[in-house]
Structure 1
Amino acid sequence: MSTPGPAALLAALRATGRTRIDRAGLWRAFLDAVPSAQGSAEARRMLAAALDELAGTGALTPTAATDDGVPPLPRAVRLTRPAAAPVAREAADPWHPELAAAAAVRAPAEAVRQVNRWLFAGGTRAGIVGLRERALEITGDEKAFDAGLPVPLTPEILRAERVALPMHRERLPGGGPVLLVVENADTFHSLLLALRGDPGPIGTLGWGAGSAFLSSVSSLAADPPAAIRYFGDLDAAGLRIPARASVQAQAQALPAVRPAPGLYRALLAHGRPAPAGPADHSDVEWLDPGLRGPVRELFATGHRMAQEAVDRRVLGSGRDWRDGLDP
């Protein structure tokens, strides 16, 4: 009978999940590795030879104490923890000169690496296109850059421009310098009717169209208003949209997007709380301090309010909703 491969015995020993294995465990592992050795007169010699070879490679350490058999077997062995396999390091791609700053970024986003490959493949010769078109070309996801460009990408590197959708706006005759942006269509129309005869400081009424305002706010750079006021739903998205749009507006030297407090107070007074799912309401801070407490209480109960509650009846019943619309 041939001597079993020490590798088979070592695999059986490691399969026990133990580090120290006594003599009984050695025999069980040996017979698992070489079932044909069961009852063989050569089994002891075979096991002893395999253990000697494994000890010689450093895979295990036998105890000094042995039994009285021939050849002697150790009372136990201690397995040596296998050395960790060296981690194969992927050869780092060289950075294109336009992305040299990426070398200082600890973990550049995958999109940055994709742009790097695109530049080497001829991207430097590309013409200017919309940012979503470029994102689709490079990453396969047209929305890859909607949340912002990862460091160190810039529109210039991408040969792309962020397309600003025009905002639907209605000029009010004799109005002032303030642009009032309204989230939803019905409330926009009701406010247009209410303001036409008496616009006060409102010179233009804009329809934000929900999250489209995040793009259309940039279109205001062509004809900047003196001030921007906003009125939307009291829910997570209704506050997130103007808060994010305000950051974007100021980055383009436009006025900050600020709340229209009188309209929000009217909504709190006349709105009907409706169930809302769990959401991040950290953008409550965008509201004026006097509104934050009541809105937090609304959100704490798991509710929201739709701005459509400030309807033509409410707008026609008083003037308090006009508070805070001055530049």
Structure 2
Amino acid sequence: MALQRRENDLIAGLRDWAAAHGRSRYKEAFIPLDDVWDVFRRVPNRNLDEAFEPAVLAGLLNTLEAAGLIRQVQRRTPEKVSLPVKIRLVPQALPPVTPPMPKWHPALTWLAAHWPTATPKQRAADAAIDRWLKSGPDLFRIPLRERALEIFGTFGNAADFPMPEKVFDTLSSGPLFSNQDRLDELLQAFRPPPPLITETFPLDEGDSHYCRVGTGDVLFVVENSTTWWSLVESLPADHRLGYVAWGLGGTFRASIRAIKAKHGITQIKYFGDLDTSGLRIPLRASSTALELGLPPVQPAERLYRVLQSVGRPRPAAPKEASVTAATANELAGWLPAQCQANGAQLLLDGNRLAQEWVTYRYLQQSPDWYDDVR
């Protein structure tokens, strides 16, 4: 039944009144006649013909009742134009169905009491962590973003967690996620602080940081700060690195101009996400470097091979999910030869590999990646 503007404004006002008074949209709400009058008097152009207002209101209520939006109680006022002493606002929708609760891992049984009131995002995250715990994971302590990728990139739904490594960046409410210490202990994870900067090239503070890690002649650029930390903490004693840079993102092409002769850089290596932006960054930075007479930006060969070996592809962001075969081949052409075919197919499939798949645990336990820094 199509409603006129006055009826629409009246039902909208009645629903606003119910919400303001704590009534659930999933249950009937009784509204006394005095409050119905208050709502009615705020309806624009409610009585253009200057008719008897109780008759106007009675007509509007009858229309709303015929549309199934309200019910008028039987008890009515004694006036000539009788009105119901209260109305019942019909529920707007059925309450959401609570999905079946998992049979919890022993470490999570206490979540049962919170399941009915949890948000859909909290339930999805709780369930993914439950599946991860039941899988018998390696509990070597790793940075939180790496653990998030391991959990939600393997046991989470891509629709719920499009950027699995960043889940805990924003999910901080609910009984499990509001207590950082308890969460970190449960997940055997930690939150690495930004390491001490011993030398900063003359750039804006928010743009980039270069940390001197040795006396070598190699600059190693890492796209994300968590992997930066894991790599720096796992360097072998005999590495050739002079600096490791982090936090550059798309500013790398500009910040590479800060490299001066005094830094003694003869080689620039890069390791980032395997997606379109993660490959465009070093390609464009390499072009700038060559224009400046600097060494080209080269891929960290072993690390990209490891990433393709251990990583689980996830759908890329919509803005990066569609590339032509020519673009995919051009971008993947920067990768090591052994990685190019798989890299191009990854882009064509609309997928990505987050570099956090190469974890602190792997870097600590597997020395085969050392060739990238020697």
Q: Normalised by the size of structure 2, how large is the TM-score?
A: 0.41
Q: Normalised by the size of structure 1, how large is the TM-score?
A: 0.46
Q: Which protein is bigger by CA-based radius of gyration?
A: 1
